[in-house]
A and B are shown apart, each in its own frame.
Chain A
Amino acid sequence: MPLSAFSTIALTNVSQTFSHHNHQVQLFHQLSLCIEQGHSYAITGPSGSGKSSLLMLMAGLEQPTTGQVAYLQHGRSMPLAQLRQDIGFVFQQFHLLPELTALHNVALPLKLRGEKNAEATAREWLEKVGLGHRLNHKPQQLSGGEQQRVAIARALVFQPKFIFADEPTGNLDSKSAADVAELLFACCQQNGAALVMVTHSPQLAARAQQVFAFNNGNCALLENAPLEVQSAC
């Protein structure tokens, strides 16, 4: 795929500050980075260091105090509203709708977009994440790992170009965490989507191609050697 075919989120000299009890707290300063479709990224650092804020900026859901966030498609600048349609989220708490079955939770984004074969596509995705036998189960009938698999399927079912994951394994035991991580990376890779994760887990961060590490108000970029991702998705 030529470089111009990829979608990119570019942050240029962004700073983020907020006011707390009349004190200005700076999360990060003059940060410039690029998120490219098809790559994986991890954001690490202690609690309150600004990881989630950076994720929100990247997703175009918040405005930086200073600096610019741009969305480029084939090298051309696109409005940020367009970016919002090309992203999916995976949360630590899964956030599945309790009233809906696994199938309906996954079909939800497609149905809202008016797609005709929503349920058939959702079924395919659930089979991909290994839950073909749990289609009609409601979230409370599923384990944490299974719920996160449903959430991953839901995030990817509408073919977003970027997946933002906030502590995707934070609520899971080590075995489930490893399985979910494997699945997440595999699905994103297979789908050609960028994966941006906020995580406290060094093991999970180590799987990303690039790591943005927050430390004492600074954000450093660490390159990881690309790991081989098993084809679980």
Chain B
Amino acid sequence: MPANNSAKNSPLRKNPIRNSLQLAWHFYQQQKHHSSQRVLRWVQGILLVFIVTLSQTSASIQAYLSHNLANLLGADLVLSQPLALSASQHAELAAMSQQIVLSQSLTTTLTHNGQWQRATLKAVADDYPLQGELRTATSQGGQENVSAQGAAVGEIWLDSRLLAALGLRLGEQLSIGGHRLTVSRILLHEPDRLMEGHTVEMRALLHRTDLQQFRATDDIIQHRYLFAANAQQISTILQWQKTHLPAAQVHHKHGAHPLALFWQRTENFIGLASILLFFMAAIAMQQLTRAQLQQQQFFSAVCLSVGASKQTVLHISVLKWLFGLLLLLPQVLAISALCHWLLLQWLQAQAFAQQGAAGSFANLAWQPDIALAVKTIVASASIFLVLNFPLWLALWQCSVRQLIQPQRRSISNAVLFGCATLVLAGVAAHYSDNGLLTAMLLGSMLASIALLLVLSWLTLSLCEKLSQPFSGILPFALYMMKQRLLSKTTQILGIGLAAFLLLFTLMLLKDLGDNMAAHQRTHDGNLLVSQASSAQMADIQLWAAQHAITIRQHKPFMYVQLTHINGGQLADVMQKPSDSLATLSRPVRLHWSEAVPGNNRLVSGQWWHSADTNWQQLSVEQEVMTDLGLQLGDRLGLVIAEHYVEFSIAATHAYQSGAGAITFWLQMPPAALTHIKAPHYSMASLELQPEQFSLLGQLWQQHPSLRMVSLQELTQRFDSSLALVTRLISGFAGLIILLAGVVMVSSVHAVEAKEQKKNSIILSFGLSKRTCLQLNIIEWLVTGAIAATGAIVATWLAGLLIYQSQFSLPYHPDIGWLLGTLAVILSLVTGLGIVLSKNSLAGSVRQLMAE
């Protein structure tokens, strides 16, 4: 057969791999300066830098945390729980280990000369520290000393911030609950700080004998037992703990850092948010695919006409893409390494700025993980491969016939959509650890996409219909946009999504801060009591009555520790990190109420009746149910005051606004109180006049362990977290802007040839370049207007949904701000669009003749 012979004898057949490589390299070199290839490099580069930096930073933090665990535990094993060990438990544990040292801690409010500051007191005896160094100083910024023991009886050591906050000096006396202690040293570092590592709480160290003077009930003191033990003893103690003290928290040198899950979750959240980046990249790559298609198909048809096989043609195209990716890697790795280093520097700076916030990252080391980088790049390359698949499919379907009978063969939209969906689903599955959050994020994204699609179609169709009877530039521009609905919609989608993301991240953060502060003031008073014992609450009520202070809410609770789900240990049943799980690993509050509280609504199941004899039932908050994958009827094992009680889930509830902010994850029937003996506490909110805040000192003097926080403090804490998040989000927003720019470039590029031709034809009618420019401006204005409107409406909807479901706050966006945003987006899109359309405006009649 002549055709077969020619194929067999073709040069490509003699050494196919080498020839394909050479040809691919040759064409890569030829095409690398083409704008479509440049844009493709940008898309792939930005995503690679993002993913590699994220994984490297996360790996550095995890490596640091495991190193930190080994060094900052101050013991081989630490067991902590609210209550002290019984004598028999202590004896058993002592027999299993080499030494046990007890440290007690209590969060309290210290007062001095009318100033107060919340702090954690740590009480130790002469056997402390067990391992590591206890470092102190005798003056502010003075020489650091290693102390062999903790504070002596009658002395207290404060950290320098606490000293400054109370306006104290060394040698002065601090009165706690009527008991006076001398401030003798500045506390710089305790070896067992790991557990406090991620809080911003100020600290003080005193002798255990002094703590007993504060009349603090035993159950509000956290008891931490530090063990010296070998590996064998550690595993024995762990086994023992599972059966004897399942509610206790245990950390040991071979275990996971308590912050590890938190950081895993942070990485997952950022990763999940990156779905949006991938979506935009998918749009950009589809636009590029369309732009390259004709040229690549022509090349393939020519190759086929000279006897090359389809496989060879495909090899060349894939290899060409691979060369592009490989040659991008040195730059990607260098930039990612730099970003990784900068991020770690930033985290360290945050640690210093916030004195212990973010997990004391002062010693975070920059250590690139090459194996991880390779893994990440391979995973990302697979994603790009899938996004490029439609182009290769179109090449596979190409034939010589195309040269004889030129035909427009486009890529099936179903294939493009399928590939993008596959990629996005893969990314979502990889990073998702929380069903509700993933659903909300994807849901709002899908809603905004649908909204943008509908809005584009409606606006363009309607405007085109209405302007049909008229002539002029505007009706023509609208008509042309309607004719190019698909490519225009893609363009609008890219820009609109980017704008939506930016608005969503920046505007919601701004509004959230404002709304939270305002709401708290209106509904919850300006002082929140987060934990008061019965005696303390009685005194608060008396104090409030004396000073005509309103108590807005008052709700009782007891502390419980979730240990089992449907008979299985919590740690065994729950593998995926979530907010709920992180909180439930510590004791949580259990409330009781006859009826559904006013600020709750029943989501599913049935609330108990007063006549109900079954007291072992619970109502669980909806988000906790989703996070932990719980269902009605599931059994939860709770340890309450050292007793194990099993409840079944009878109902789920959700927060609703209007009746105060104090709500509980777990609630039970009041009938259960007759069966459970445990200390009762209260949460309450009060409304104080500004001048009444000075009266708080009196209350704290009386009850140092009373947990109260003022609105001012709350908002300060909130603001500092918000500032941290805003900075992170701003970095992310920078990436979004960059990708939005790339999407615009690629969308302009995809229709550049068509646009150039259109402009040339307009010039051939004797019209000027000014007309072309006017048309271009109108097109970008319409594109920008639809995209911005879509983005704003989507942000508004997402705001409504998220505020309502997450914070139960009404969402009132600032209209002036929205209109301003609309104007900014419109001018930016139009300006950038015109700059990018420079090439398509450079058409001429000469070009039409040359074709």
**Among residues 441 to 489 in chain B, which have CB atoms less than 8 Å away from a CB atom of chain A?**
471-473, 475-476, 479-480, 483-484
Q: What string of 1s and 0s marks CB contacts (under 8 Å) between B819-851 and chain A? A: 000000000000000000000000011101111
| Closest-CB distance, B779 to chain A (whole angstroms) | 14
Judging by beta carbons under 8 Å apart, are A86 and B483 in contact?
A: no
Residue among A61, A108, A111, A158 making CB contact with B845, cutoff 8 Å: A61
Which of chain A's residues have a CB closer than 8 A to the CB of B480?
99
A93 to B716, CA, bound (A): 70
* CB <8 Å contact, A56 and B851: no
Tell me, yes or no, whether A84 is within 8 Å of chain B by CB: yes
Instruction: Tell me whether A95 and B757 are in contact in the complex, defined as CB-CB below 8 angstroms, given that A89-B764, A112-B765 are known contacts.
Output: yes
- Does A166 contact B849, Cβ atoms closer than 8 Å? yes
For residue B484, give the distance in angstroms from its CB to the closest CB of chain A. 6
Contact (Cβ within 8 A) A118 B849: no
On whether A114 and B471 interact (CB within 8 A), knowing A61-B846, A104-B479, A158-B766, the answer reads: yes
A112 near B408: Cβ-Cβ < 8 Å: no
Q: A95-B757, A97-B758 are in contact. Are A89 and B845 (CB under 8 A)?
A: yes
Contact residue among A59, A93, A99 (Cβ-Cβ distance under 8 Å from B483): A99
Q: Is B29 engaged at the interface, CB distance under 8 Å to the other chain?
A: no
**A228 CA to B263 CA in the complex, in Å?**
89
Question: In angstroms, how far is the closest chain A Cβ from the Cβ of B508?
Answer: 39
Q: Select one of A86, A87, A88, A115 contacting B471, CB under 8 A.
A: A115
| Cα separation A115 to B469 with both chains bound (whole Å) | 11
Indicate if B762 sits at the interface (CB-CB under 8 A). Answer: yes
- Verify if B606 is at the interface (C-beta below 8 Å from A): no
- Give the size range of B's interface with the partner: 20 to 34
Q: Are A111 and B476 in contact (CB under 8 A)?
A: yes
B571 CB–A CB distance under 8 Å: no
- Asked whether any CB of chain A lies closer than 8 Å to the CB of B239, the reply is no
A-B contacts, CB under 8 A, total: 80
Given the interface pairs A86-B766, A140-B408, A158-B766, the reply to whether A91 lies near B771 with Cβ below 8 Å is: no
Instruction: Evaluate whether A158 and B851 lie within 8 angstroms (CB atoms) in the complex, with A61-B844, A95-B757 already known.
Output: no
Interface residues of A in 87-126 (CB under 8 A from B): 87-89, 91-93, 95, 97, 99-100, 104, 108-116, 118
Residue on B nearest A158 in the bound complex, by CB: B765
**Which residues of the other chain, A, contact B846 by a CB distance below 8 angstroms?**
52, 56, 61-62
CB nearest to B758 among chain A residues: A97
Tell me whether chain B's interface is mostly helix, strand or loop, or mixed. Answer: helix
Q: Does A85 contact B (CB under 8 A)?
A: yes
Q: Is A64 an interface residue (CB 8 A)?
A: no
Cβ contacts under 8 Å, B63 to chain A: none
Most buried by A among B473, B483, B765: B765
If A84-B766, A118-B471, A158-B765 touch, does A112 touch B476 (CB 8 Å cutoff)? yes
- Given A95-B761, A160-B766, A112:B848 Cβ within 8 A: no
- Nearest-neighbour CB distance to chain B for A166, whole angstroms, equals 5
Known: A95-B757, A95-B851. A112 touches B771 (CB 8 A): yes
Measured between beta carbons, the chain A residues less than 8 angstroms from B848 are: 89, 91, 93, 95
Evaluate contact between B758 and A113: CB separation under 8 angstroms: no
**Binary flags per residue of B743-773, CB closer than 8 Å to A gives 1, else 0:** 0000000000000011011101111100100
Task: Name A25-76 residues within 8 Å CB distance of B.
Answer: 52, 55-56, 59, 61-62
**Min CB gap A108→B, angstroms:** 7
Residues on A with C-beta less than 8 A from B767 are 85, 109, 112-113
**A87-B766 contact given A110-B471, A112-B473, CB 8 Å threshold:** yes
> What separation, in Å, do the CA atoms of A69 and B461 have in the docked complex?
46
Q: In the complex, A98 Cα to B829 Cα: how many Å? A: 27
CA distance A31 to B402 in the complex (A): 44
Complex: how many Å from CA A103 to CA B483? 14
Give every chain A residue within 8 A of B771 (Cβ-Cβ).
112
Residues of A within 8 A of B762 (CB): 112
Residues of A136-160 at the interface with B, using a CB-CB cut-off of 8 Å, are 140, 154, 158, 160
Q: Which of the residues B471, B484, B760, B849 comes within 8 Å of A111, measured between beta carbons?
A: B471
The complex places the Cα of A78 from the Cα of B73 at a distance, in Å, of 92
Complex CA–CA separation, A52 to B760 (angstroms): 16
Q: Which residues of chain B come closer than 8 Å to A110, judged between CB atoms? A: 471
Contact mask for chain B residues 632-671; partner A; CB cutoff 8 A; 1 contact, 0 none: 0000000000000000000000000000000000000000
Q: How far is the CB of B278 from chain A (nearest CB, A)?
A: 31
> Does B765 contact A109, Cβ atoms closer than 8 Å?
yes
Q: Chain B nearest CB: distance from A105 CB in Å?
A: 9
Please give me the residue from chain B that is nearest to A96 by CB atom.
Answer: B761
Contact of B765 among A56, A59, A88, A92 (CB under 8 A): A88
A111–B757 touching, CB < 8 Å: no
Q: B764 contacts A93, CB within 8 Å?
A: no
Chain B residues with Cβ below 8 Å from A158 are: 765-766
For the complex formed, measure the closest distance between the CB of B658 and the CB atoms of chain A, giving whole angstroms. 55
B472 neighbours in A (Cβ, 8 Å) = 111-112, 114
Is A113 in contact with B471, judged by CB distance below 8 angstroms?
yes
B157-203: which have CB < 8 Å to A?
A: none
Name the residue of chain A whose CB is nearest to the CB of B484.
Answer: A99
Q: In the assembly, what is the distance between CA of A60 and CA of B849, in Å?
A: 15
Minimum distance in angstroms from B571 CB to a CB of chain A: 62
Chain A residues whose C-beta falls within 8 Å of the C-beta of B475 in the assembled complex:
111
A97 in contact with B761 given A61-B846, A89-B848, A104-B479 (CB within 8 Å) = yes
The chain A residue sitting closest to B767, CB to CB, is A112
Q: Are A108 and B849 in contact (CB under 8 A)?
A: no
User: How many angstroms between the C-alpha atoms of A84 and B764 in the bound complex?
Assistant: 8
A158 CA / B766 CA spacing, docked (Å): 10
Within 8 A of B (CB), among A154-192: 154, 158, 160, 166
Contact present for A100 and B765 (CB under 8 Å): no
Shortest beta-carbon distance, B702 to chain A, in Å?
A: 81
What residues of A have a CB within 8 angstroms of the CB of B768 in the complex? 81, 84
Instruction: Assess whether B476 is in contact with A108, with CB atoms less than 8 Å apart.
Output: yes
Shortest distance between the CB of A84 and any CB in chain B (Å): 5
**Closest chain B residue to A86, Cβ basis:** B766
CA distance A111 to B484 in the complex (A): 18
Would you call B844 and A108 a contact (CB within 8 A)? Answer: no
- In the bound complex, CA of A86 to CA of B765 (Å): 8
Point out the residues of chain A lying under 8 angstroms from B844, CB to CB. Answer: 61
- What's the Cα separation between A109 and B758 when bound, in Å? 12
Tell me the bound Cα distance from A166 to B765 in angstroms: 15
Compute how far the CA of A55 lies from the CA of B765 in the bound complex, rounded to whole angstroms. 15
A114 partner residues in chain B, CB cutoff 8 A: 471-473
- Chain B residues contacting A108 (CB-CB under 8 Å) are 476, 761, 765
Residue pairs across A and B with Cβ atoms less than 8 A apart, 22 shown, are: A52-B846, A55-B849, A56-B845, A56-B849, A59-B845, A61-B844, A81-B768, A87-B766, A91-B764, A91-B848, A91-B849, A93-B848, A95-B760, A99-B484, A100-B483, A104-B479, A111-B475, A112-B471, A112-B771, A114-B471, A114-B472, A160-B766
Residues of B at under 8 Å CB distance from A? 408, 471-473, 475-476, 479-480, 483-484, 757-758, 760-762, 764-768, 771, 844-846, 848-851
* Extra inter-chain contacts (9) besides given A61-B846, A93-B848, A95-B851, CB under 8 Å: A52-B846, A89-B848, A91-B764, A91-B851, A97-B758, A99-B480, A112-B471, A113-B767, A114-B472
8 closest Cβ contacts across the A-B interface?
A99-B483, A109-B765, A89-B764, A114-B472, A85-B766, A111-B471, A166-B849, A114-B471
